[in-house]
Structure 1
Amino acid sequence: MAVSMGSYGCIAGVYDDLVASPKQPISKSPISTFSFGSNPARHFCVSPKSRLSYSLRTMIPKASATALEDEIYQETDDVPIPKVIIDQDSDLNATFVQITFGNRLGALLDTMNALQNLGLNVVKANVHLDSSGKHTKFSITKASTGRKVEDPELLEAIRLTIISNLLKYHPESSAQLAMGEAFGIEAPKHKLDVDIATRINVCDDGPNRSLLSVETADRPGLLVDLVKIFTDINVAVESGEFDTEGLLAKGKFHVNYRGKSLIEPLQQVLANSLRYFLRRPTTEDSSF
C-alpha cells in the first residue's frame, strides 16, 4: 500500500496521496499479516515495527471552494473538543463513523467526498443534537465488496482524512488536535505527557473473548500500530471502537487468543507490550 510505505503495495492506490514524513523513520522489517474485524481469514499486509506518519497537507481530495461547510464563528467563542469515533461494534456489515465538533459542522459533503475517494461507499446515517453538540454519523463500506472496512490501514486513513478536513475547514480546531502541532495553524497549548496519559486495562468479556481498553496520546498511524502489536503476540481482534477526542486516542477492542478469552499471564503480556510501545513511539531499528 502506498500510504504506509511499510506495506509495500499490499492495497495499492488507497493512500496514494498520503506521504510518509521524514521526521519519523520507518522500519524495513519483513512483512507480516493481521486483520481487524469479524473474519480472521482475511489478512492485510503491514511491516513489523513500522511507525506510520502521514502528511495531512497532502490528504486527498483537495476540497472545492464550495466546501466551506460551516458557519463562521467569532474568535472569542469557546472552541469545542473535536471527536471522531470509528465504530466496528454496532453492525456486522458496515463501519460507522461519528464526527462531533460542537455545533460547528455543516453537511460535511466534502468530507463524504474525501472518504469516497478512498474507495468507500459513504451514506449519512443520522444526525442528532445534545448538550455537547451536533453528532453526524456515517455508514461506510468498501466500494469493491460492499462489506465493512476491516483493514486497519484503511481505517486509519478514514480517521486521518476526517481530521485533515477538520484542520482545513475549521482551523480553530488545530489547537485542540494532536496533529494540529505538525499540520495545523496553531499547536496545542498543553502537550500530553505520554506516561501520564496512557492507561491500559484488560478484562474478561465472556468465555470466548476479552475486552482491552487503551487510552493514550494521539498521533498518526496509532491504530495500525496498536493492531500490529496484537498480532505480534497472536491476539486476534474481533471488533472494537477507536475514538479521537482532542489530544487523546481511546480504543476498546474485543480480542481473543485462539477463540478464547485471554488468560491472566497473556493479559499482562499484552498490557506490558502496549505500555512499552506507547511510551517509545519513535524507536526504530532502522530507517530510510
Structure 2
Amino acid sequence: MPADTGFPRSDVENDFLRVRRRQVLARMVQRLRRAPDDVNVILPLDEVLAALGRRGERRLGLQTIRLDSIVGTVDSTRDFDRKFRPTSGRVRERWERLALAQRRGEPIPPIDVYRVGDLYFVEDGHHRVSIALASGAKTIEAYVTEVDTELPPSGIRGHRDLLFKSYERIFRERVPLGGPAMAKITVTDPWSYAELGEAVEAWGFRWMQDQRRFADRAEVAGHWYTEEYQPVVRLMRSAGLVGDSTEAEAYLRVATERYRLILAHEWSDEIVERLRDKIR
C-alpha cells in the first residue's frame, strides 16, 4: 500500500480510488481472458441455500474469521464484487466516512455474517469488510450464525456451480440412496442428474408393475441400485464400456440406448458389441 500522507481524509479518498481502480482492472482482465461472467460476482445467500437446501441454523457468537473466506451477501446488493471492491462510486461517501473513523481510532463494531461450510455471507458490515481488505487486514471480528444444508457447499466458486448443486439436490430427493451408495453417483454435467433421475423413476415404475405393489422412493432407489445399477456397471466395466466417464454417466448411456436396442431388456454378447461400437 502507498505510504500515508499524514492527512487522514486525503488518505481515505486515495484508498477508495485505489480500490475502485482494482475493481475496474479486474473486470477488464476477466473480459480479456474470456473468463465466465460470474467469477467476480458476489454470491447471494438465498440462491446458495436454494441450491443446497436449508436444514436449520444456530448462533455461534463472536468469532475471528478470515476475510478471504467471505464470498457473499445476505441482501441483493451489487455495490461490491466477490472481493468486496466497490463496483461504483455510489458507496463512496459512506465508505470514506467509516474508513476515516477507523483511522481516527474510533471503535468499529463487529460485522454480522452467516456461515455455510467454510463460506461466509455478510448480513451487516459490507463497507467494513471492504475497508478491512483495502487496509491489508487478514481477519475481522464477526457475529456468526451457522446454517446447516442438505448438500455440502464444497466446490462453489460462482453462480454456475449453484446450478450443479441444485440439480444434485433434486436428484437426491428423487433417488434417496444411503450415503455410501450416493457417493458413487457422480456426473460432470448437471443436466445428467435430471436424466438419471428420470431413468431411475422409469425403472422403478416397471419394477413396481412386476412386483404388483407400490413402493416409496427410498425402497425403489435401494432396489434400483442393487438390482440394476451395480450389475450394469460391473458388466460395462468387464466389457470396457466405462472409459473416461464416471460410472453414473456410463450407466446413463446404456439406460438411454439399451431399451431402444433390446425390447426384452436382456443382455447378450451382440447387444454389448452394438453398445461398444456406438460409444466408440
TM-score clears 0.5: no
The TM-score, its normalising length taken from structure 1, stands at: 0.24
**Structure with greater helix percent:** 2
The TM-score, its normalising length taken from structure 2, stands at: 0.24
- Which one has a bigger Cα radius of gyration? 2
